Amino acid sequence: MCFRHGGFPLPDFSKTTLQNLVLYNVYDLPTLAIENHCYAIQGKITFTLTNEQITDDVLFIGIFNGIGAVRTQTKMMNKGKSYTFSAFASVEACNETNFWGEFCDKKLQRLQCYPLKQQFCDYSIDACHLPDMSPKLKISINNTKDGLLSLIVYARNGAIPTNTLFDYTIDLTRNQLTIQLPKIGVWYFYIVPVMNTTTTTSNHMTQLKQLCYVLKWKLIKGIGHQESSIYHVDGTNYLSNFPLTKIFQGENIDNPWIGYFVMELPANVSTKNIRIEMELNTSIEYEVYARFGGLASHEMYDYYYVNQINNSDDGLSLFKLYASSNQSLKFDIVYAQQGKWSFGLRKRNLMTRLESETNLSISLAACPNNCSGYGKCSIAANAQTSCSYCECDIFHGGFDCSIKIIPKSLVCNALHRHIVSLPSVN
């Protein structure tokens, strides 16, 4: 049983992931760590997820009857006993949306991420919704300057932060918090006052309880390399070809970033693969950076391609490079997460110019690499979602049927030994 946020889990993506896979015992853990984890099913299982583990997206749970390359082999998929699974899920939540916590005793203030200046006199979780991809989000408070108190902020995207579980943290009395290329969605901020004195008197504690502060935040757009053009792609279109010279006209010679493509993957295509292809008459002098939920850069990305050697095809991430040469490029992001994706195109050097025949293709593929020509792409669908997968022939396996399991010569020899000559009948 494997877990993944936003997309289907795939524990046997490569030999590397299989070698690094650890099957945990559910009963050995006080709380279930779910992201990219697998657990051996042992009869009846009951587990609980706390609100810090629940993010603002879809949680996929995959049940696998064995893992490895032979899992997708045709004869294995149609062989053996059938199993029935039943599951029950219940959600406990606070009656009012502005409270949270195990006992619903902590206040949650929902605000807007747009320019804001507001006074607070209690210690709560502040949340703001960021609808679009922006270069920067800045948060600051009024300066207390008394030296007795620090206000530590813990920031997290999509889930409640704690002092041990966060994306960013800083002392707001000393510096403002600047989040570079923040992800879209809900940002949560947990502000905790901390006394700086070694001996805390009762007077200090009274000041701490009565402390008020002014929280300010703002979005900053169109700075640095993010001045590049952003082109929106239809996520429901299964094939989109883009002539780059027509889309990104008047490129800035001092800006290494040519432009961005933003695509939203609909919720009903949970097992689709994002395919990127590029072909040129001359040598490819561009880098591609992909990021889920926010603008990509050469420092913040989920997947990247620089050249044939330097890319994300390491067997650990769901990135598969199928073609790489000086003039062509093709890779799949397997079982891409639902939601918004950005793809940044960057020059390898500032002297590079867009060639007239430069075309980039961004498409959705039901099965990775068309099952490598050794299987068929099968689709199972219901009212909520669709699931596509490769059903490989008897000689191949793997998620894309690219792994040879049984040599054809071995099968032919085995069949030859079972041929029986029958006497002729007149």
Question: What's the pLDDT tens digit per position in 211-229?
Answer: 677 777 777 665 444 456 7
Residue-by-residue DSSP string for 362-396: EEEESSGGGGGGSEEEEEEE-SS-EEEEEEE-TTE
CB neighbourhood size of 287 (10 A) = 20
> Mean pLDDT lowest for which of 54-68, 102-116, 161-175, 231-245?
231-245
**21: helix, coil or strand?**
coil
Q: What percentage of the chain carries pLDDT values higher than 70?
A: 72
Residue 204 reports pLDDT greater than 50: no
- Alpha helices per DSSP H over 355-407: none
48's CB contacts (< 8 A; 6+ apart) are 31, 32
- Find the Cα–Cα–Cα–Cα dihedral 47, 52, 56, 62, rounded to 10°: -30
Q: What percentage of the chain carries pLDDT values higher than 90?
A: 14
More confident call, 114 vs 204: 114
Looking at residue 333, its pLDDT comes to 94
Looking at residue 72, its pLDDT comes to 79
Burial of 173 (0-12, 13-18, 19+ CB in 10 A): buried
Whether 382 is in a domain gets the answer: no
Whether 344 is in a domain gets the answer: yes
Segment of 147-151, 346-350, 370-374, 421-425 carrying the highest mean pLDDT: 370-374
Please indicate, yes or no, whether residues 63 and 126 belong to a single structural domain of this protein.
no
How far, CA to CA in Å, does 8 sit from each of 31, 112, 175, 386?
22, 32, 40, 11
Please indicate, yes or no, whether residues 304 and 362 belong to a single structural domain of this protein.
yes
Please indicate, yes or no, whether residues 235 and 309 belong to a single structural domain of this protein.
yes
Please indicate, yes or no, whether residues 127 and 231 belong to a single structural domain of this protein.
no
Looking at the 3D structure of the chain, how many domains does it have? 3
Please indicate, yes or no, whether residues 233 and 216 belong to a single structural domain of this protein.
no
Domain span holding position 211: 104-220
CA–CA separation, 336 and 273 (whole Å): 6
CB neighbourhood size of 102 (10 A) = 10
Tokens linked to 228: 């590049």
Please indicate, yes or no, whether residues 216 and 229 belong to a single structural domain of this protein.
no
Q: How many CA atoms lie within 13 A of 27 on its CB side?
A: 5
Domain boundary at 77, 94, 116, which?
77
Closest CA to 278 of 253, 301, 261, 297: 261
Domain boundary at 158, 187, 220, which?
220
CA–CA separation, 354 and 332 (whole Å): 24
Please indicate, yes or no, whether residues 368 and 258 belong to a single structural domain of this protein.
yes
Please indicate, yes or no, whether residues 215 and 231 belong to a single structural domain of this protein.
no
Please indicate, yes or no, whether residues 109 and 17 belong to a single structural domain of this protein.
no
141's CB contacts (< 8 A; 6+ apart) are 151, 172, 173, 213, 214, 215, 216
Tokens linked to 57: 């997206």
Please indicate, yes or no, whether residues 256 and 362 belong to a single structural domain of this protein.
yes
| Sign of the four-CA dihedral 62, 67, 69, 70 | negative
Closest CA to 41 of 75, 74, 83: 83
**17: helix, coil or strand?**
helix
Please indicate, yes or no, whether residues 185 and 242 belong to a single structural domain of this protein.
no
Please indicate, yes or no, whether residues 234 and 357 belong to a single structural domain of this protein.
yes
> pLDDT-based confidence at 79, cuts 50/70/90?
low
Whether 20 is in a domain gets the answer: yes
Closest CA to 67 of 119, 123, 13: 13
Residue in the block written with tokens 């079972």: 418
Domain boundary at 355, 372, 389, which?
372
CA–CA separation, 1 and 41 (whole Å): 6
Tokens linked to 136: 């920067």
CA–CA separation, 25 and 112 (whole Å): 42
Whether 327 is in a domain gets the answer: yes
Cα 67 from chain centre: 22
Looking at residue 426, its pLDDT comes to 47
- Is residue 66 within 8 A of residue 72, CB to CB? The reply is no
Whether 259 is in a domain gets the answer: yes
**What CATH number does residue 169 fall under?**
2.60.120.380
Looking at residue 167, its pLDDT comes to 93
Tokens linked to 30: 């006080």
Burial of 258 (0-12, 13-18, 19+ CB in 10 A): buried
pLDDT tens track for 280-291: 777 778 899 999
Whether 423 is in a domain gets the answer: no
